[in-house]
Structure 1
Amino acid sequence: MLHFAQSSLFQTNYIVMSQAQTYTPGEFQWSFLHPKYWGIWLGIVFLMILAILPWAIQYRLATFLGNLAFNKLKSRRKTTLRNLEVCFPEWSPEQVQDNARQVFVDQMLGVFETLNAWYCPQWFKNRVTIEGLEHIQTAQAAGKGVLLLGTHSTLLDAGGYLCAQYFEPDVVYRPQNNPLLDMLIYRCRATIYANQIDHDDMRGLIRNLKNGHAIWYSPDQDFGLKQGVMAPFFGVPAATVTAHRRLLKISKAVAVPLYFYRHGDVANPKYHLLIEPMVDNLPSEDEVDDATRVNQIIERQLRIAPTQYMWFHRRFKTRPEGYEKIY
């Protein structure tokens, strides 16, 4: 069984529930019928309607909303433009501008693709292909757990659904602060993932790896140097997390790169899962070298479909003394 961990519908919107709050994930509570929740119920009905719209309409709406977000979310736009300038110096200013705008459109497309995965999964029929599944199967046949190295894709939970066409995925999730919203998302995800593991359940995560499961992990964001080291990312020093080294050491699992993306005519899109061979000698004795090699894997993945990545995150926000500020 493959266990696939993706963090959230919108990565930045997930907030950990208070430890004092008692709530069973996915459990309905009569309090959810209180008027204070009516707005969320109406919003869910609206999203379900959007999910049954033809793709041609969804695409037009996503394009409109993506352009609107690009124009209105000035801080996110500025971060996206700067990230693309730094990572793709070969692009002209016009290319940077056009691709930055497309990042926002692809993010909105990812929302509709996720709604389709939740409420209208038959839309993906005959649209998905896979390459390299044997790399996971071989590792698991040898009794090894698999840590899947990937990125924060704009496909969101649709990526999990793509994987579910070929294996039974699990997800590691962070509960939403609003219990009704958490219940609704949990139940939607239950149609995709075999199991959902709370992000605080590290023992469970390690236990699954030791038992030969495969778990998605995306070491592509800046969490500072307390959790990582400086390593080149697109040729620029960036704070790179190293937690995956500890997970691999403790569980004796192997690291396998995984990438999924949309391709072809956007009016009739196709989706591809690319699974690459196991990364040799990871972890090694050199954590900077390990971080560099993982960043190179992510770079290679992102060059396949550059705008299908959450470039609006401040990937280079950590700048130690002596390093030029990026933002």
Structure 2
Amino acid sequence: MSQPTILFVDDEKNILKTLQRLFLDDDYRLLLANSGQEALDLIRGGEKPSIIVSDQQMPGMNGAEFLAKSREILPESIRMVLTGHADITAAVDAINVGGVHRYLMKPWNDDELKLAIRDAVERFDLTLQNRELTKQLVEKNRMLEELTINLEKKVEERTRELQIAYRKNLTLTTILRKKLKELEGRDRIQQHLLTMHPLQETLNTVLEVIIDVVGADTAAAYLNAPDASLLEPTAVQSAPVAEGGQAIDAIPEEQIREIFSTGTPCCLNSLLHANKPGEPAMILSHLLVPVKGIDSLLGVITVSKQGQRPLAEEEIRIVGSFVQQAAIAIHDSQMHGNICALGSSLDDVLANL
């Protein structure tokens, strides 16, 4: 803590010298002025006394007037009046106008004066400390408010990041589950193809897998028969109808014949009316996929599904991968039939020899 500065103001020089001797051994920095104007000049010149002790009765500018002007420049300073005149009016002026903290009489008691100065210094120091602490508190509150705002922003940003990451993870998990289900379906069909089965049984297995993986309602397989006038499914599979669900309309025969003619897959979507008021409208999707061999069209597989959205591109791709396995099964069945027919022909030739 810096050395306290005390300014004594009195028009009598011997009084100033007496005060100087009184506080010679104390750890104070003393300033002496013979008039109020001289004291103001010191203050305006940069001096900032902690304590100002002024005589009341001085020519030109009395103590109350001087202290009032010094108060405007140094409002934090502790001001005291030291006078030999017991004038109540002067005391009131000094307190009200000059903002005096204490009023002391001449002749003074040395111990009483030194105690008053020491108390004033402590009060001044406490005032400064309190002001500094208040300033620090205001600054810390401001920093805390900024930190709180920044923390809230960071929490919001982190929450958004976590929400985005969660949604991405959820999407990825859904994709992985669908992919795993597709691979399990492909493996099921592949294991079935490793052993000999009737073609209809194999096609039913493929259709069951399609319904399970894609979540379709019905699926059917049509083979390219020599008699084009007949269009009957070789295999048909349906999922259980949910309670309140609508029956699936059959795919128009001309649409199936068009696929046999063009060899191009297509997806037909139509809007279904809600069963009850307030329920969301449903969409019926019919997917028709040609089953292609090496150099011929082997058949057509149809898939029907109703839901709140049409069949997605990924679901169409998955159906296409199962249709490729169906093409292998049909091709193998035809090859087996040809081999059996060839064997019968050879048996007939050998029997005639």
TM-score normalised by structure 2 residue count: 0.19
Rg larger in structure: 2
Q: Which has the higher helix share?
A: 2
TM-score normalised by structure 1 residue count: 0.20
